[in-house]
Amino acid sequence: MELLPLLDAQSVEPLYSQLYRHIRGEIEAGRLRAGSRLPSVRKLAAHLGISRTPVEDAYQQLLAEGYAASRPRSGITVQIYEPEFSRGFYRTSSAEPGRKESPRLVLPAKKADPSIPVHAGEKTDWIDFSYGDIDLSHFPFPLWKKLLGSCFSPDHRDLFRYGDPLGESGFREALSDYAYRARAVICPPERIVVGAGTHHSTEQICRLLQRTPYSAAHSPIAVEQSMSDGIAAIMRQHGYRLVPLRLEPDGIRIEDLYDSGARIVYTTPSHQFPHGMVMSIGKRRRLLNWAADVGGLIVEDDYDGEFRYAGLPIPSLQGLDAAANCVVYMGTFSRALAPAFRLSYTALPPALAIAAKAALHPFDRLASPLHQKTLELFMAGGHMQRHIRKMRSVYQRKMAALLAAVRRCLEPRFRVSGGGAGLHVLLETDDGRDEAQLIRLAEAAGVRVYPTSVYRIDPHRGESASILLGFGGLDERRIEEGVRRLADVWKR
Amino acid sequence: MELLPLLDAQSVEPLYSQLYRHIRGEIEAGRLRAGSRLPSVRKLAAHLGISRTPVEDAYQQLLAEGYAASRPRSGITVQIYEPEFSRGFYRTSSAEPGRKESPRLVLPAKKADPSIPVHAGEKTDWIDFSYGDIDLSHFPFPLWKKLLGSCFSPDHRDLFRYGDPLGESGFREALSDYAYRARAVICPPERIVVGAGTHHSTEQICRLLQRTPYSAAHSPIAVEQSMSDGIAAIMRQHGYRLVPLRLEPDGIRIEDLYDSGARIVYTTPSHQFPHGMVMSIGKRRRLLNWAADVGGLIVEDDYDGEFRYAGLPIPSLQGLDAAANCVVYMGTFSRALAPAFRLSYTALPPALAIAAKAALHPFDRLASPLHQKTLELFMAGGHMQRHIRKMRSVYQRKMAALLAAVRRCLEPRFRVSGGGAGLHVLLETDDGRDEAQLIRLAEAAGVRVYPTSVYRIDPHRGESASILLGFGGLDERRIEEGVRRLADVWKR
């Protein structure tokens, strides 16, 4: 037994997190080699004199991050690891969500209410699986109102002016801390730029790159073959050509990236949009190697990184970038809080942060200083962490209800992709019907579901139809009802 | 005596406004011809049996709008008028500001406080004549807080989502009404698009024009030879070439516009930025004629149209466009309320409004629905009109203090330009010193003043130095003190 972690049962850091960190450290230090087998949960628990649960949780996290792999009959084995990536995990004080908020993914689904009519009549009782919707029923309205109201004092008069083009300094300090705790982003306040949503942050980045070797004149942007249409439109508007990279189950095909000739890549490693895969630690490593090889720049869009349901959130790519010089990280509060505050942020590498001070014209100040201050106060009071934990468990239950309903009613004809994180999944089928047919059938049953072909960058059409279902704004009963209606009209 | 207005002393419309409207109507109808002389104030007052004040005020308004001109020894004469411009004035219910809020421009200046040291010592007591600053001491903080707080109710949950890409519908209705009352803009809610400040509105317009005959591929944009640098940068970023037009005391040189070959012109007719001239009614007419001649589009930036100090505000160019098809009007609340709400709006001609629905991607939703709703409620309660009236009188007093101090301390070496409106003036001199020298001298005295050369689009340098002084954020005592310091270091 090679594993001899010093576990401290008195620590604020949960046992599973201590164990996870220890094993990860051993892998990173090369003492646990690729291919070597980890002890079984039962054995390690007995060896350490602790219960099985923390061991299971630690293994789950290592699996989720790609440090280990699980294969039938060979148990859990260590994956290839290269030592330059020995940084980048969040403080343990925020590593608590694991236990209470991460029960097994599939909860027993509540029995659907038969009083809801399956088919809509004249006045359609729509069930809308729209992507952008979030659950506001748990938003702390009274607290937010109080904090926002506290800005209306004579001391805070400056909050009513234009504010700092890069974002309010207090807010940027809070963001630096939050990004580290929640997403393992390592970035001092001076290198953070506040935006009015991910699209605006994308614009800021494009503007910033204009007078650098990463301008549209110097390089196209390599992108995942399916991506946010809005972000693609903004990049094109700034003159960039987009080169699609094929997607594999663990993220973009790195060979395609080398072949692309691009020096910039845009990616959603924590939860690919829209397909939902997570980029493995191996791919992340290879992606950072690519950047080192070609002097490349990686734009990491972490649009819903807060909502991963199995184990801890996957830490950001930015935090793995030991030299902190090739990743531009974008985070947003449109999903974690609410879109109406129009707040996002970008963590820049040092060279670009210096350029930003000169290049970002005051006209880029689009985020309201009042909303910035309110979120700063919300974070300072420790409310943000609590809110994210709460919402993670809310969305996890919804996701579980959706997955259970799909299993019950739609499998095996339809497969789910992207069920481990975020507020949407894809339903895929090879039964010969295309997107448009399936969407039309759904509409006839009073259900709105969405196409994914609109997100494709390459002209190539997949053989299987792929339908997007967002569930953030629906409660569990409606989710189940919606899937039942789909099963009814989609059966052959 | 040709003037026989039916004046109603019982009306809510002030006498001067009734009289102004009557005379304007006579001019527009051709019954008062160009070159004909208006009766003297004394004669007309006696003829109508009213006091002189309303007659003086009515004449002042006609002069300000270019319907009449005043020349020494020939009195007040009617200017050339062509009849197609017979629309576009605001409802009389909002035409009240004239009386109480428009005392003579130059009020007796308060005596400066000698306790303030004229020269700054080690710890400089800066007086900053910065352009973007506004006076927040009269902002209705408690009321705004209450209205904003009322959005935090379950009925208003939708205000926390993304909202309508064109802007919240209730807010657009309120804007349609406000723009008409305050700025004579005639535009139904369906043709209004909400933005997050003038710069964002400019971006929206540039995007909107992309697939029209006004795209950057089809036409450069003709602009005033000095203009907002941020707006110029955004237009260039969208691929537009800018062609400067020379400025005359009554606005752009229309001949230059015909020569430019451009089919789009960007202009600030209510108060040229930064020079401060008002475009005369004659020029406005010729500008609209140009648009009719070449199928041109006029972008009217009305950034501080609310703050005109002599008589009623100049109505917008948009309202004079009888066919309502060639003016894109931009308004902002950054000066009239506060920059932090990040709210602006664009009134579009019908053809562009139809294009907007298709072309404005959801990524253009940058204005917070919460701020939109709060301003809607503020307007619905009649508070906006009151606030503007209040602020007009506050800024008018500041302007008067500034003009009086300049007259006392800096004339005749320095001339003021743009003193009739807005929150800034220019100080011009031909004494051989350039901008940089004057700014350096001012800094040595603890006064920050600003260059205007940064706003020039054409490379041609004027012979006279021109220094920008914004006064919105300074009180009258500081304004006077600042001018005294300038006089001290600028004397030769």
Q: Are A172 and A189 in contact (CB under 8 A)?
A: yes
Per-residue CA distances from B174 to A36, A445, B324, B380, B384 (Å) = 69, 38, 20, 7, 11
Report the b/e string of B259-269 with b at 16+ CB within 10 A.
Answer: ebebbbbbbbb
pLDDT at A14 over 70: yes
- Architecture of the domain delimited by B127-134+386-490: Alpha-Beta Complex (3.90)
Q: Are A175 and A192 in contact (CB under 8 A)?
A: yes
Classify A418 in phi/psi space as left (phi over 0), alpha (psi -120 to 50) or beta.
Answer: left
Q: Report the candidate in B242, B90, B197, B168 with the shortest Cα–Cα distance to residue A361.
A: B197
pLDDT at A468 over 70: yes
Q: What's the one-letter identity of residue B239?
A: G
Q: Do you know the residue count of chain A?
A: 492
Number of other CB atoms surrounding residue B164 within 10 Å: 18
Q: Are B206 and B364 in contact (CB under 8 A)?
A: no
Q: What is the per-residue pLDDT across A24-49, written as a single tens digit (0 to 9) for each?
A: 888 877 778 888 888 888 988 888 88
| Average pLDDT value for chain B | 84
Q: Which residues of chain B does A365 touch, with a Cβ-Cβ cutoff of 8 Å?
A: 197, 342
Residue whose entry in the numeric block shows the structure tokens 């580290």 = A180
Model confidence at A312, in pLDDT bands (50, 70, 90)? low
Does an H or E element contain A234, and which? helix A229-237
List the single residue in A with minimal CA-CA distance to B168.
Answer: A340
Q: Which residues of chain A does B342 touch, with a Cβ-Cβ cutoff of 8 Å?
A: 196, 365-368
What is the percent of chain A with per-residue pLDDT over 70, rounded to a whole number?
A: 87
Of B162, B231, B340, the CB nearest to A369: B340
| Average pLDDT value for chain A | 84
Check CB contact under 8 Å for A363 and B234.
Answer: yes
User: Lowest-pLDDT range, A199-208, A414-423, B62-71?
Assistant: B62-71
B405 vs B426: CA distance, rounded Å: 14
CATH 3.40.640.10 residue ranges for chain B:
141-380
- Report phi then psi at B68, rounded to 5: -140, 165
- Report phi then psi at B224, rounded to 5: -65, 145
B88 vs B54: CA distance, rounded Å: 22
Q: Which residues of chain B does A366 touch, with a Cβ-Cβ cutoff of 8 Å?
A: 196-197, 200, 342, 366
Q: How far is CA A340 from the centre of its chain?
A: 20
B166 or B74, greater pLDDT: B166
Check CB contact under 8 Å for A340 and B368.
Answer: yes
Closest chain B C-alpha to A109 CA, distance in angstroms: 28
Mean pLDDT of A344-355: 92
Confidence (pLDDT) at A305: 82
Q: What is the per-residue pLDDT across A443-466, written as a single tens digit (0 to 9) for each?
A: 999 999 999 988 998 766 666 789
Closest chain A C-alpha to B258 CA, distance in angstroms: 30
DSSP B188-235: -GGGEEEESSHHHHHHHHHHHHTTSTTSTTT--EEEESB--HHHHHHH
Q: Which of B16-20, B207-211, B477-481 has the highest mean pLDDT?
A: B477-481
Closest chain A C-alpha to B352 CA, distance in angstroms: 20
What is the percent of chain B with per-residue pLDDT over 70, rounded to a whole number?
A: 87
Model confidence at B356, in pLDDT bands (50, 70, 90)? confident
A277 vs B205: CA distance, rounded Å: 38
Mean pLDDT of B415-438: 90
pLDDT at B157 over 80: yes
What is the percent of chain A with per-residue pLDDT over 90, rounded to a whole number?
A: 51
Q: Which residues of chain B does A362 touch, with a Cβ-Cβ cutoff of 8 Å?
A: 230
Helices (H), ranges, B29-111: 41-48, 52-64, 98-101
Confidence (pLDDT) at B313: 62
CATH 1.10.10.10 residue ranges for chain B:
15-98
Confidence (pLDDT) at B3: 64
Check CB contact under 8 Å for B161 and A134.
Answer: yes
Confidence (pLDDT) at A95: 31
Of B163, B237, B342, the CB nearest to A366: B342
Q: How far is CA B74 from the centre of its chain?
A: 30
Per-residue CA distances from A229 to A236, A453, A455, A460, B50 (Å) = 10, 10, 6, 16, 66
A120 or A104, greater pLDDT: A120
Does an H or E element contain A299, and which? strand A297-302
Model confidence at B312, in pLDDT bands (50, 70, 90)? low
Mean pLDDT of B77-87: 53
Q: Report the candidate in A360, A358, A351, A357 with the shortest Cα–Cα distance to residue A326.
A: A351
Q: Which of A151, A171, A215, A237 to mutate to test the interface with B (most CBs of B within 10 A)?
A: A237
Q: What is the per-residue pLDDT across A252-307, written as a single tens digit (0 to 9) for each?
A: 999 999 999 999 999 999 999 999 888 888 889 899 999 999 999 999 999 988 88
Q: Are B298 and B267 in contact (CB under 8 A)?
A: yes
Q: Are B480 and B401 in contact (CB under 8 A)?
A: yes
Confidence (pLDDT) at B240: 96
Mean pLDDT of B322-348: 93
Mean pLDDT of B26-53: 84
Q: Which of A365, A368, A374 to mutate to test the interface with B (most CBs of B within 10 A)?
A: A368
Confidence (pLDDT) at A250: 86
Of B133, B134, B163, the CB nearest to A340: B163
Handedness of CA B43, B48, B53, B54 (dihedral sign): negative
pLDDT at B147 over 90: yes
Confidence (pLDDT) at A36: 84
B72 or B134, greater pLDDT: B134
User: Lowest-pLDDT range, A56-60, A245-249, B326-330?
Assistant: A56-60
Model confidence at A106, in pLDDT bands (50, 70, 90)? very low
Q: What's the one-letter identity of residue A202?
A: T
B57 vs B19: CA distance, rounded Å: 9
pLDDT at A314 over 50: yes
CATH class of B141-380: alpha beta
* DSSP reduced 3-state for A244: strand
List the single residue in B with minimal CA-CA distance to A140.
Answer: B152
- Please return the burial class of A369, using the count of CB atoms within 10 Å of its CB with bins 0-12, 13-18 and 19+: buried
A49 vs A8: CA distance, rounded Å: 12
Check CB contact under 8 Å for B132 and A162.
Answer: yes
What angle is formed at CA B431 by the lines to CA B428 and CA B435, rounded to 5 degrees? 55
Q: What is the per-residue pLDDT across B370-388, written as a single tens digit (0 to 9) for each?
A: 999 999 999 999 999 899 9
Strands B424-429 and B415-417 turn out to be: antiparallel
Mean pLDDT of B21-42: 83
Task: Fill in the DSSP letter of residue B485.
Answer: H
Mean pLDDT of A122-137: 86
Does an H or E element contain B380, and which? helix B369-380
- The CATH T-level fold of domain A15-98 is Arc Repressor Mutant, subunit A (1.10.10)
Report the b/e string of A437-471 with b at 16+ CB within 10 A.
Answer: ebbebbeebbbbbbbbeebbbeeeeeeebbbbbbb
Closest chain B C-alpha to A70 CA, distance in angstroms: 41
Residue whose entry in the numeric block shows the structure tokens 């006579």 = B26
Q: Which of B366, B374, B423 to mutate to test the interface with A (most CBs of A within 10 A)?
A: B366
pLDDT at A90 over 50: no
ipTM of this predicted structure: 0.76
* DSSP reduced 3-state for B321: coil
Does an H or E element contain A242, and which? strand A242-245
pLDDT at B97 over 50: no
Check CB contact under 8 Å for A366 and B200.
Answer: yes
A264 vs A273: CA distance, rounded Å: 18
Check CB contact under 8 Å for B366 and A152.
Answer: no
Q: Report the candidate in B231, B271, B227 with the shortest Cα–Cα distance to residue B246.
A: B227
Q: Which residues of chain B does A371 touch, with a Cβ-Cβ cutoff of 8 Å?
A: 368
Residue whose entry in the numeric block shows the structure tokens 């506040």 = A194
Contacting A residues, span 309-368, partner chain B, CB-CB under 8 Å:
334, 338-342, 361-363, 365-368
CATH 3.90.1150.10 residue ranges for chain A:
127-134+386-490
Of B237, B363, B368, the CB nearest to A234: B363
Confidence (pLDDT) at B85: 30
- Report phi then psi at A285, rounded to 5: -60, -45
- Report phi then psi at A326, rounded to 5: -130, 5
Confidence (pLDDT) at B74: 75
A444 vs A453: CA distance, rounded Å: 21
- Report phi then psi at A429, rounded to 5: -145, 150
Dig out the tokens for A475 from the structure.
Answer: 């409660």
Confidence (pLDDT) at A463: 64
B461 or A310, greater pLDDT: A310
B142 or B82, greater pLDDT: B142
Q: Counting one residue from A and one from B, how many pairs have CB atoms under 8 Å apart? A: 108
A80 vs B464: CA distance, rounded Å: 71
Number of other CB atoms surrounding residue A341 within 10 Å: 24
Q: Are A426 and A467 in contact (CB under 8 A)?
A: yes
Q: Are B185 and B393 in contact (CB under 8 A)?
A: no
B187 vs B184: CA distance, rounded Å: 9
A271 vs B188: CA distance, rounded Å: 43
Check CB contact under 8 Å for A136 and B148.
Answer: no
Contacting A residues, span 135-174, partner chain B, CB-CB under 8 Å:
136, 139, 141-142, 144-145, 148-149, 152, 157, 159-163
Check CB contact under 8 Å for B162 and A199.
Answer: no
Confidence (pLDDT) at B231: 95
Contacting B residues, span 110-139, partner chain A, CB-CB under 8 Å:
132-134, 136, 139
Mean pLDDT of A184-188: 89
A414 vs A492: CA distance, rounded Å: 12
Of B133, B340, B361, the CB nearest to A159: B340
Residue whose entry in the numeric block shows the structure tokens 């605006």 = A200
Confidence (pLDDT) at A53: 86
